[in-house]
Amino acid sequence: MKHRTLFSQAALLFFAQTMASHVWAAPGNGSVGGFVTDSLGKPVADASVVLQTATGASAETTKTDAGGHFSMQNIAPGTYAVVVTATGFASGSSVATTSPETTSSVTVALTKSDAIDVQVSAQRLDQARNGLSPETGSSVYRITDTDIQNMPQGDATPLNQVLLQAPGVAQDSYGQVHVRGEHANLQYRINGIMIPEPITGFGQSFDTRIIDQVDLLTGALPAEYGLRTAGIVDITTKSGDAGNGGTIDVYGGSHGTAQTSGNVYGTEGALTYFFSGTAGVNDLGIEAPTSDGSPLHDHTRQGNAFGYMSYLINPLTRVSVVFGTASNQFEIPNTPGQTPSFMLSGQPNINSADLNETQSELTNFATVALQGTDGDKLDYQLAYFTRYTRTQFNGDPIGDLLYNGVASQDFRSNWANGLQGDTTYRLNGSHTLRAGVYFEQDSAVANDSVSVFQTTNGVQSSFTPETINSASTTIGRLFGIYVQDEWKLSDKLILNYGLRFDMMNEVVNASQLSPRIGLVYKATPSTTLHAGYARYFTPPPLELLAPTTVAQFNNTTNQSASPQNSPVEPERSNYYDIGVTQRVNSAITVGVDAYYKQSNDLLDEGQFGTALINTPFNYASGHDYGVELTGNYKDDHFSAYANLALSHATGQNIISGQFNFTPDELAYIASHPVNLDHDQLLTGSAGIAYTYARTTYTADDVFGSGLRSGFANTDHVPFYTVLDLAVIHHFDTSYLGKFDGRLVVVNLLNRTYELRDGSGIGVGAAQFGPTRAFYAGVTKYF
């Protein structure tokens, strides 16, 4: 590498001298001086400075003084390489051209050699961490930071909308996404460590700006992955090990949107860090219940922060700390023109457009991980994680009584703590063994204060409300252990097989031993087939479970239609997956994947109250199957992708949380398989990005046949499509340096589309997607 560098410098100097040959003819000599600094701009003393000619010969040598300055006199006119070396630094160089009786001045910045060592060691450990998370037999869809930057909204794209670009991901209201016909059941990992999901999901909690790469793993997963298995959202965060810098971003536009964010990253000795933060407001925090595009009472304030720090104990071992927080405040949008259904003593009617329901959410999480490798056979990671999530719903104490007969204040919190350990041992060239353990303890708190009216035979009989309070704390524990072997049968065929044991001690106690097996066959250098089977065990999310005494609301306006309330059980399922990926050429890759899932005690969730908090329940059985088609094109200036998925998901006979349903619904579902409310027959996404000179033109589109609606989900909302466009220009100016300008149009066609129409199993209200909106942003790089 050194010889190649000297050759390049010599060639550059020979060219420069040829172009400047007229200078040589001038009489007299000049001088070369300059300043040597480190990467932070601090002077480097006692650095060796060598002036080299085009042939590589030394013309003059000197050293820098205490202030980092150097000077060499009586230098013949010409062009020279100024090569600087110093103890503890990588060498640096610059080019100086001397003229008769003039001084040529240069500045050379040196990079500490330990920073280079940190980068190399960090890359080695990153590779070891990747080796802890196999993908054998599953389907993987990768989205990089570059892909996110090429999306119309770039880093301002919420995480749930980033995931919509993957195949088989359907959008729902309030930041929810459904993967392969399942409700939630997503597992989020940060740098390989599982983070328990908060009460309202990570759709509006994780900031996209922290992502270096996000992988969505679906299908028949290896034994390493348990508990939440509809999809693994595996986030590799930005780390700062590539150099020092930062950004400041301002973004805003329609719907009162104003958002500011920034990050800073870098390396100091053995310490690497990345910090990021965002704060913003808008008037479209929650999907509107009406189609006019200007929802009433829908202001939101949102902010989040994230930090990553890692310290190299030695080149093969590091400790890392990750932490984050998200605080979101929402107004619940109103539907004008409604008529009150109840009467309250001494209280005149309130316009439904003036109701004041709000919800606040807080999520904090942190991990501490020790990760290492022996550089050959053994990789390991041991991590402690903690997550606190809290949601407070504040109803309108008068308006809700007038319109709903019920006004509540609902508080939910969950504090989860746990340990996760993963190891990989490369036994030989054919067998790679993996094993690990997972433990989590949750403390879930539920406090509700509900105002209701007394009733007689279902009719309001009192006009003075009474308040019923309830409070509970539930402790739950999850435990999992796995072992698996990645067996390389030949250069073309890999078999991954293993066992996983999971146990839960929550509202109910249960356990399961789950076999997993996956095959990958590289039929040709461009054709790869995979197939797999997995037995899954999925506990209900404790953060959403709140003990409910149905009888305490008898003869009130909050009386349940059904008195039954069986406890929610864990789901047990068999999952089959098969697919093929074909690399057509160096730029084009296509794929097809098919899956089938059979479930007992199928888990689902519904929003049965006004609060934006879902409630889990079980179907006795369920079936979920589908097929996904994918295509990608990428070259130096143009990229494109297209995904299309067909899905069919059904359940039959509700066996828990029955009080949330009417008797006629329960009777129908008991004897008929019904489409799940989050089922969408057709789901698709597509996008293109083209860069010409310093300008990138980009477009994304998502579409679907519509989620389910109607009695027992026997209908669906209309087909929808949403097209977003953007133009991004990359500026590089002498005064402001590097920055990006971005102009965005969301829903270019201004199509009115419903995500929900207020009907269907577990659907509380209508929700419309946003109308056409315009945004602009500026990102400054440092």
Residue ranges of the chain assigned to CATH 2.40.170.20: 139-781
Label residue 765 by pLDDT band (50, 70, 90).
Answer: confident
The residue with greater pLDDT, 13 or 358, is 358
- Centre a 10 Å sphere on the Cβ of residue 254 and count the other Cβ atoms it contains: 18
- Residue 329 confidence (pLDDT): 94
Geometric angle at alpha carbon 139, from 124 and 378, rounded to 5°: 30
Q: Which residues of 693-730 are buried (b: 16+ CB within 10 A; e: fewer)?
A: eeebebbbbbbbbbbbbeebbeebbeebebbbbbebee
- The tokens describing 328, both together, are 């979101």
CATH code of the domain made up of 2-111: 2.60.40.1120
Got the DSSP string for 352-377? GGG---EEEEEEEEEEEEEEEE-SSS
The residue with greater pLDDT, 3 or 621, is 621
Of 458-462, 647-651, 740-744, which gets the smallest average pLDDT? 458-462
Label residue 119 by pLDDT band (50, 70, 90).
Answer: low
User: Mean pLDDT across the chain, nearest whole number?
Assistant: 89
Q: What is the pLDDT of residues 484-499, one digit of tens each?
A: 999 999 999 999 999 9
- Residue 612 confidence (pLDDT): 77
- Residue 114 confidence (pLDDT): 58
* pLDDT for residue 14 is more than 60: no
Length in residues, the chain: 782
Looking at residues 591-609, what average pLDDT do you find?
92
- Residue 118 confidence (pLDDT): 63
Nearest CA among 330, 327, 393 for reference residue 364: 327
Q: How far apart are CA 728 and CA 692, in angstroms?
A: 11
* pLDDT for residue 394 is more than 50: yes
Nearest CA among 366, 452, 443, 439 for reference residue 412: 443
Choose which CATH entry (2.20.25.90, 3.40.718.10, 3.10.20.30, 2.40.170.20) describes domain 139-781.
2.40.170.20
Looking at residues 8-27, what average pLDDT do you find?
42
Looking at residues 21-50, what average pLDDT do you find?
75
- Residue 584 confidence (pLDDT): 93
Q: Which residue has the tokens 């066996």?
A: 655
Q: List phi, psi (to 5°) of 176.
A: -85, 150
- Residue 120 confidence (pLDDT): 66
Q: What is the pLDDT of residues 400-447, one digit of tens each?
A: 999 999 999 999 999 999 999 999 999 998 999 999 999 999 999 999
Q: How far apart are CA 707 and CA 710, in angstroms?
A: 10
- The tokens describing 514, both together, are 């789950």
Residue 101: CA count within 13 A, CB half-sphere? 3
- Residue 28 confidence (pLDDT): 64
Looking at residues 115-141, what average pLDDT do you find?
73
- Residue 117 confidence (pLDDT): 60
* pLDDT for residue 223 is more than 60: yes
For the chain, report the end-to-end CA distance as a whole number of angstroms: 29
- Residue 592 confidence (pLDDT): 95
Q: What is the pLDDT of residues 718-758, one digit of tens each?
A: 999 999 999 999 998 888 888 999 999 999 999 888 888 88
Q: What is the pLDDT of residues 54-95, one digit of tens each?
A: 777 888 999 999 888 999 988 888 888 899 988 777 788 888
Residue ranges of the chain assigned to CATH 2.60.40.1120: 2-111
Q: Which residue has the tokens 């995931």?
A: 163
